[in-house]
Structure 1
Amino acid sequence: MSKIRIGITGQEGFVGQHLFNTLGLFPDEFERVSYHIDFFKNKESLELFVGQCDVIVHLAAMNRHDDPEVLYQTNIGLVKQLIDALEKTSSKAHVLFSSSSQEERDNLYGKSKKEGRELLIRWATLTGGTFTGLVIPNVFGPFGHPYYNSFIATFSHQLTHGEQPKIEVDGEVKLIYVNELIEVILGEVRSKLGNPLFIIPHTSVNKVSEILALLEQYKEEYFLAGIIPELKSSFALNLFNTFRCYIDIKSHNPVKLVKHTDPRGAFVEIIRLKAGGQVSFSTTVAGITRGNHYHTRKIERFAVIKGKALIQLRRIGTDEVLDFYLDGNEPAYVDMPIWYTHNIKNIGKEELYTNFWINEFFDPDDPDTYFENV
């Protein structure tokens, strides 16, 4: 069975990065077609890109601008350029277009999305192409840009950088987590059917003040005290993992633990948690490295209690490697953010003792563990 070749316009954006990285989890099913933002500045490059794709997910768009007319013209222009390239290459690609629940609102952003979807419907009707118009609710998740993608990104950034968020309007917001959105998109890709008006249902409804209260709780318990909060729902877990990604990893880690000593020896409290999970213990001989994998939903803590260790992290899709040196004489821990591949190496001469905690039991049928060298 041949792989489905997928290209993502706007691959560098919030949803685009998540979609691109998730496609990488299915190397036997999908082939990612290389894209660059400059393709829309060069007709030949865009046509070459389009001509390679079985599926095109069109995410490239402007979400905010001081001049709404510039935003409108930019988004319509991108759609028209894509259609020109589709027609020039006689493409039979399945095109999925990212529209918005703001389609029906009286603003130029919503108008640009609705008219862009209608232009692509017309292309599909005239050419016999396959088209899916995705009407998407408010999306949140890790690595969104503060003051741009989501108020949750803004609030999380502010709370972890010494600022206090302010609520402009305390209305109810219909939300979908980015991983949930990607799952829907992949379902449409796999169906190969097309749907000119696919209204994606939201997965949670919350008042802005309710979300801020949870984020403030995560700040007090986790960011300031190192406590894993109680996560009663998938929304709470998703919101917590989103919040965690806005903590400055370099300055926050490793987190020192309190060591109590008396004539009997030493005692160190490793973790306080209001969530369940699994605690493990390992020994590692000198020179050996464990790990080199990442998770997309799990929360994990490595605590070194004896020996010397190097813990390394690298966000998937980037090149920067973060190094943290831990010594059992000064017990400390590092928590693993989602979408960061990580490892731990014994860099000392004695055996390394490490305590591991993860927030869910290991399930071999759904391990959420993907191997990639740091």
Structure 2
Amino acid sequence: MKKIGVTGQNGFVGRHLYNTLGLFPEEFERIDFKKEYFEDQNQLDQFVKQCDVIVHLAAMNRHESEQFIYETNVGLAKKLADSLTRTASKAHVMISSSTQEERDNLYGKSKKEGRETLANWAEENGGKITGLIIPNVFGAFGKPFYNSFIATFCHQLTHGETPTIATDGEVKLIYVQELVDTIIYEIREGNSKPEFLIEPTATKKVSEVLALLNDYKTKYFDGGEIPEINDTFEHNLFNTYRSYIDYKTHYPVKFTQHTDPRGVFVEVIRLGIGGQCSFSTTVPGITRGNHYHTRKIERFAVIKGKALIQLRKIDTEEVLDFYLDGKEPSYVDMPIWYTHNIKNIGEEELYTIFWINEAFDPENSDTYFLEV
């Protein structure tokens, strides 16, 4: 079992990497890191001593002073290199750099110098180094106005604001889970690559991305329709968009009921995508679910009876409770990386329709059990 430490484990990429490593408990042990360790040599050395692999993601992306960004990022890399030297560490060190290394700005210079600092440590001490040169990263839970323009656009479109394009250039992109999968692959391989250029998985104009996100707002956020998804990039972009919705205020969404002398008709879901639709009955007091997904899109629709649907982001304590009643049929969609369940809290059978965007595959289920 490899012991893995992630500096910046609570940041955008760090949190995704930390959580994904947790899906392989028989292969990886996670060594927790706190940003305060960089201010305490003893704590930093103790962390370094425990690790077989250190993924150095801690860095500053934006600040009003470019000089402060430069000094911070270079300083963090130097502190880590000094600790590796003091402890005579033989860890495989991986550092995130950026394709902005090639640009004439202090952020790019800080990333390049940080990578070279750790590469020099590896050369002088017989260590292993992987210098990850990464394109623009997007994905769920990124910080708006900080991590990427996609994070900013998604936040604005789900909070009543109107995005604007400053420069409509082409951007090389990689989805955060694709990046994490690459990092884990390199951890398993264990080879030194001082300058490892990670290829983007998509190249898009800013206006192309905004057009897709506007479509998601109109069809999904405003209309409840699952939009057409044509490829992996659009699937990842849609899941990214969904992560910025304020679930506390948006759900549950009530269906439109069409009533006539024959009874009631309700359209449960309108699709621009395929998938699997299921029906269940649940007896009073029983709970289904208590699992989460990292890629699947899922809708729970209550048609008859009373239900409590609960959601909890897997690295938080807050539980979101949604009460649904078949007298006013409604639905809640499940965000990725949120464990969720549904419980019959009524006195009669609960009737639920479940839709998910892909048929269940036991060999690749993307279903991880965890109590809400």
TM-score by length of 2: 0.99
Q: How far apart are the structure 2 equivalents of 1:87 and 1:265?
A: 76
Aligned residue runs from structure 1 range 287-366, under 5 A:
287-366=285-364
Q: Is the 8 A contact 1:302 1:355 kept in 2?
A: yes
1:236 aligns with 2:234: yes
Q: Matched residue of 2:185: which SS?
A: helix
Contact 1:188–1:194 under 8 Å retained in 2: no
Q: Which residue in the other structure is 2:56 paired with?
A: 58
* 1:124-143 alignment, distance < 5 Å: 124-143=122-141
CA distance in 2, matches of 1:330, 1:148: 40
Aligned partner of 1:157 in structure 2 is: 155
Partner SS, residue 158 of structure 1:
helix
Q: Structure 2: how far apart are the matches of 1:277 and 1:192?
A: 38
Pick aligned residue for 2:41 from 40, 43, 55: 43
Map Cα deviations across residues 257-293 of structure 1 (whole Å, 9 max, x no partner).
Answer: 0122222222111111111001000000110000000
**1:24-57 deviation digits (Å, cap 9, x = unpaired):** 1111100000111111111111111111000000
The answer (yes or no) to whether the contact 1:132–1:197 under 8 Å persists in 2 is yes
Q: Which residue does the alignment assign to 1:226?
A: 224
1:4 paired with 2:2, answer yes
2:77 to 71, 76, 79: 79
User: Structure 1: how far apart are the matches of 2:110 and 2:256?
Assistant: 56
Alignment partners' CA distance in 2, 1:6 and 1:48: 13
Counterpart in the other structure of 1:246 = 244
CA contact (8 A) 1:316 1:339 kept: yes
TM-superposition CA deviations, 1:106-163 (whole Å, max 9, x none): 0000001111111111100110000000000000000000000000000010111111
* Cross-structure match for 2:259: 261
Cα distance between partner residues in 2 of 1:197 and 1:43: 28
Deviation at 1:313, TM superposition (A): 0.2
Partner Cα separation in structure 2 for residue 128 and residue 4 of structure 1: 19
The whole-number CA distance in structure 1 between the counterparts of 2:11 and 2:192 is 24
Rounded to whole Å, the distance in 1 between the matches of 2:193 and 2:349 is 58
Counterpart secondary structure, 2:210: helix
When the two chains are superposed, the root-mean-square deviation of aligned CA atoms in Å is: 0.6
How far residue 89 of structure 1 moved from its aligned partner, in angstroms, is: 1.0
Q: Over residues 55-82 of structure 1, what are the superposed CA-to-partner deviations in whole Å (9 max), with x where a residue is unaligned?
A: 0000000001111111100001101110
Give the distance between the partners of 1:119 and 1:83, measured in 2 at CA.
7
Alignment of 1:202 onto 2:197: no
CA distance in 1, matches of 2:250, 2:117: 48
> Percent identity at matched positions?
68
Residue 189 (structure 1) aligns with: 187
Q: Output the CA distance in 2 between the equivalents of 1:308 and 1:315.
A: 24
User: Residue 167 of structure 1 is aligned with which of 149, 165, 168?
Assistant: 165
String of CA shifts for 1:150-192, please: whole Å, max 9, x gaps.
0000001011111111100000000000000001100110001
Aligned to 2:175: 177
* Deviation >4 Å, runs of 4+: none
The answer as to 2:305 corresponding to 1:281 is no
SS of the residue aligned with 2:215?
Answer: helix
Are the counterparts in 2 of residues 12 and 37 from structure 1 also a CA contact under 8 Å?
A: no
- Distance in structure 2 (CA, Å) of the matches to 1:121 and 1:23: 25
CA contact (8 A) 1:309 1:325 kept: yes
Residue from 202, 211, 229 that aligns with 1:213: 211
1:193-247 CA-to-partner distances (Å, cap 9, x unmatched) read 1100000000000000000000000000000000000001000000000001111
* Paired letter, 1:292: N
Q: Given the alignment, which residue of 19, 22, 30 partners 2:20?
A: 22
Which residue type is aligned with residue 370 of structure 1? Y
8 Å Cα contact 1:94-1:192 kept in structure 2: yes
Distance 1:353 1:370 in 2: 24
CA distance in 1, matches of 2:231, 2:295: 13
Give the secondary structure class of the aligned counterpart of 1:115: helix
1:33 alignment partner in structure 2: 31
Normalized against structure 1, the TM-score is what? 0.99
What is the distance in 2 between the residues matched to 1:113 and 1:259?
56
Out of 352, 357, 365, the residue aligned to residue 367 of structure 1 is 365
Structure 2 residue identity aligned to 1:71: I
2-structure distance, mates of 1:191, 1:269: 50
Q: Kindly provide the amino acid, as one letter, of the partner of residue 163 in structure 1.
A: E
SS in 2 for 1:357: strand
Distance 1:258 1:209 in 2: 33
Gaps of 5+ in 1: none
Structure 1 CA distance, aligned partners of 2:314 and 2:105? Answer: 36
